[in-house]
């Protein structure tokens, strides 16, 4: 997912890089919140690449984080 986010036009600034990562994390967090709405007992996302990014915010030993669009 990260490779795809940076494919094509390369970022021209650190802000561009942050926006691309922000979009990835926002999308994965949205999927996670939707999954929890449909199944509150969920512990993972079914897609391994989404789950890997979800772990950044919601994995064991991390503080809860909520992504908000800027």
The pLDDT tens digits of the residues spanning 36-50 come to: 999 999 999 999 999
The H or E element containing residue 14 is: helix 14-38
**pLDDT classification of 58: cutoffs 50, 70, 90:** confident
Q: Which helix or strand (DSSP H or E) is residue 37 part of?
A: helix 14-38
- How much is the pTM? 0.71
Q: How far apart are CA 64 and CA 29, in angstroms?
A: 11
Q: Measured between alpha carbons, how far is 32 from 43 in angstroms, rounded to an integer? A: 10
Please give the Cα distance from 47 to 2 (Å, whole number): 14
* HSE-CB for 61 with a 13 A CA cutoff: 1
């Amino acid at each position: 997912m990260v490779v795809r986010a940076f494919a094509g036009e390369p970022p021209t600034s650190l802000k561009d890089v942050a926006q691309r990562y922000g979009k990835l994390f926002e999308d994965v967090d949205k999927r996670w919140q939707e999954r929890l709405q449909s199944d509150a007992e969920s512990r993972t996302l079914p897609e391994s690449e989404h789950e890997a990014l979800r772990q950044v915010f919601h994995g064991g030993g991390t503080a809860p984080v909520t992504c908000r669009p800027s």
